[in-house]
Chains A and B, each alone.
Chain A
Amino acid sequence: MHPAFQAILTIIIGVGGCVGYFYFSNQFLDKVVFPPKGVHAGRNITRANMIRPWLFLFPALTALGLYLAYPVFETLRLSLSERVPGGGSQFVGLANYEQMFSESKFWEAMRNNLLWLIVVPALSTVFGLIAAQLSDRVRWGNIAKSLIFMPMAISFVGAAVIFKLVYDTRPVDQDQIGVLNALYLFFGGNQPVTWLTQVPWNSFLLMIVLVWIQTGFAMVILSAALRGIPEETIEAAIVDGANPFQVFFKIKVPQIMSTIVVVWTTITIVVLKVFDIVFAMTNGQWETQVLANYMYDKLFRASDWGVGSASAMIIMLLVSPILVWNVYNARKEMQ
């Protein structure tokens, strides 16, 4: 069957199935299981209303449980066991973790990931804040925002190609087609540099790609926060003689601090999962390895599910403080 037909069929089955499920399960509940008539009409309505939420939730909960919750525990189990030849697995305690900790590639990935965690959220937030503040003050601000925001729509792989062209290197006797080398030679460099092999600069060059993508996100959120600041506070500061920079740093920034934290943590999560950029641009060579790509290497190139799962658990461990913090805040907000 042609995949296009398969896709259309899936949409029909998926959508039709969903609607059908919700409709008929509700009908079934109301007409057959707890019909609101007869001796127990009142009791039946109450009971039906107790069950109905779970009818609405059932497909979503199943999918969430199967595709997100179950894997967390299964990965934990896999990280503590190893595959035995002929199928099945056996418990090996922390052996996978020990093996992973003894690999220099893992520590290289950890070190790079920490650098990514510091550099990317910091630069994206700062640039985003600058862009938000500047574009709110000019008439063509919306166009500027659109253009800075645009990389959000571009895939990591597309961005990797875009920046590979920027970092491209040609032999010394030819014209450079990469902007970076052209600028380098223009400002007095001796010969073209193969940038992506230059440790430690290459890691930063990869980070720039993500900063380029994430700045737009930071800008959009921070711009909304800046507009939400009550004008009286700013007016009062100006009356008291504050200059524009003081207004920005002492009045505006403190008031949007909680939004800055949100932006920072959201980008942090993106950074922890970053895979495509490194995979496409250097594939972890020349000391640019990061955790997500290390994990992919272990799982699908070395076929080592134990160590691969162990490194996935490390990513989970790094994410969990943010997870707890988010859940805590969400609960506080609901009360």
Chain B
Amino acid sequence: MSGIAGTKSSLTWAVHLSLVAMVLLWLFPTVGLFVSSFRTTDQISTGGWWKAMSSSEQSTTLRTSSPETQIGKDGVFLIEGNLFDEGSEAEISVWGTSSRSIDDYKAGDTAELKNGATITVAANGDYIMQSTETLTGKRGQRVFVTALTPPEFTLDNYKNVLFDENNREGMAKAFFNTLTVTIPATIIPILVAAFAAYALAWMDFPGRALLIAAVVGLLVVPLQLALIPLLKLHNEIGIGKGYLGAWLAHTGFGLPLAIYLLRNYMVGLPRDIIENAKVDGATDFQIFIKIILPLSFPALASFAIFQFLWTWNDLLVALVFLIDSSGETTVMTKQIVELLGTRGGNWEILATSAFVSIAVPLVVFFAMQKYLVRGLLAGSVK
């Protein structure tokens, strides 16, 4: 179309640039969280994530080796070593020996300590501490350094959040709970809806138009209305709060969209196939199982993705129908909200937990985007 539109080159550039700007703007917040989830606590709290790719100035407290490692030679006692962990490429700019003045000395300078010893710290963290007397004490000398640290990423946050047995956030458990809620709540409504959609699309009976209209109406009924009556109902029939209640609720709330999507798709299937099958003596049940279901696969996939995303990302239904006072059945969204409240400052845990919960829908999204788009186009009431 751009050919016929007689596009001018300056306008083409403007189009490219504005689209790039828009994409970056939309991507930026997510990337921020993603990058943060790979940074250490120190890194997150000392600088914005956008600086994570470049070296950053960090002030930390390090220690020399303990006096037990000193070597005595010619009346001089020495402790030698490197302040940093092995493999670190940090570069010290200034340092000090007291927390009140952390920038007294430059790299390579020699400082005099209270006990008469001297210490020299090089830019790469090598230090020599020497004294004419035996160095005493159990722990090494503290050194306050300000160092230019190269970018560094870690998987520790993920290890902590997912695999640490005794972490209190329980994201691993919540992950499996979420999965437990999601899978039955995705599969069951599909089947129930498919049969109903077939009846609404291909069977003639009085009241059909009315039922279709009712389904369209129920599409927009806010789920807020259902909370109290259904909680009451679940308590009365003995389901209470738990998985069964959540599965049933998700099934009920997902049905209007499922029926609507599937009916619209099934109506469009070629009439000949179905009538030929009928002439050949197939029953409605056989037609449904052998012809309609396989042909409706794209619509089934569309709805499955919707329902999966919706149940995986849901908070309200879980809060009301699933999570009881024991908290055993908690889901990830609930855990994250809790973290936001109690540990709002612990970005490494928050970011990682959030990303664990976001990752699965994102994979589904990118893998099956085609069906999602198709479903959206069919599902928005025209």
Query: Which residues of A are in contact with B by a Cβ distance under 8 Å?
Result: 3-4, 6-7, 10-11, 14-15, 18-19, 22-23, 26, 30, 50, 52-54, 56-57, 59-61, 63-64, 66-72, 74-75, 78, 127, 130-131, 134-138, 141, 144, 146-158, 160-166, 168, 170, 174-179, 182, 212, 215-217, 220-221, 224, 231, 234-235, 238, 244, 247, 258-259, 262-263, 265-266, 269, 272-273, 275-276, 279-281, 292, 295-296, 299-300, 305, 308-309, 312-313, 315-316, 319, 322-323, 326-327, 329-331, 333-334
A175 CB, min distance to chain B CBs, angstroms: 5
Query: Which residues of B are in contact with A by a Cβ distance under 8 Å?
Result: 1-2, 4-7, 11-12, 15-16, 18-19, 22-23, 26-30, 32-33, 36, 44-50, 176-177, 179-180, 183-184, 187-188, 191-193, 195-196, 198-200, 203-205, 208-209, 211-230, 232-233, 243-244, 247-249, 251-253, 255-256, 259, 283-285, 288, 309, 312-316, 319-320, 329, 333, 336-337, 340, 344, 347, 350-351, 354, 357-358, 361-362, 364-366, 369, 372-373, 376-377, 380-382
Task: Offer 24 A-B interface pairs, CB within 8 angstroms, sorted by A.
Answer: A10-B243, A18-B195, A57-B196, A60-B192, A63-B248, A67-B249, A67-B251, A68-B252, A75-B226, A134-B18, A149-B373, A155-B312, A155-B315, A157-B337, A161-B33, A179-B28, A224-B377, A231-B1, A308-B228, A312-B225, A316-B225, A319-B220, A326-B217, A330-B213
Residue picked from A53, A150, A182, A273, most chain B C-beta under 10 Å: A53
Question: What's the Cα separation between A220 and B315 when bound, in Å?
Answer: 26
Question: What's the Cα separation between A64 and B230 when bound, in Å?
Answer: 12
Contact between B340 and A280, CB atoms less than 8 A apart: yes
Contact between B340 and A136, CB atoms less than 8 A apart: no
Contact between B229 and A63, CB atoms less than 8 A apart: no
Contact between B226 and A71, CB atoms less than 8 A apart: yes
Question: What's the Cα separation between A315 and B221 when bound, in Å?
Answer: 9
Contact between B5 and A238, CB atoms less than 8 A apart: yes
Question: What's the Cα separation between A156 and B288 when bound, in Å?
Answer: 37
Question: What's the Cα separation between A274 and B22 when bound, in Å?
Answer: 25
**B203: which A residues are within 8 A, CB to CB?**
52-53, 56
Question: What's the Cα separation between A74 and B202 when bound, in Å?
Answer: 33
Residue picked from B22, B199, B225, B313, most chain A C-beta under 10 Å: B225
Interchain residue pairs A-B with the least CB separation, the first 6: A67-B252, A155-B313, A60-B196, A153-B365, A74-B229, A56-B199
- A315 CB contact (under 8 Å) in B45, B225, B243, B377: B225
**B256: which A residues are within 8 A, CB to CB?**
64, 68
Question: What's the Cα separation between A243 and B188 when bound, in Å?
Answer: 53
- B22 CB contact (under 8 Å) in A134, A160, A175, A313: A134
Contact between A316 and B221, CB atoms less than 8 A apart: yes
Contact between B218 and A68, CB atoms less than 8 A apart: yes
Question: What's the Cα separation between A324 and B62 when bound, in Å?
Answer: 69
**A26: which B residues are within 8 A, CB to CB?**
283-285
Contacts A154-B358, A175-B46; A165 near B195 (Cβ below 8 A): no
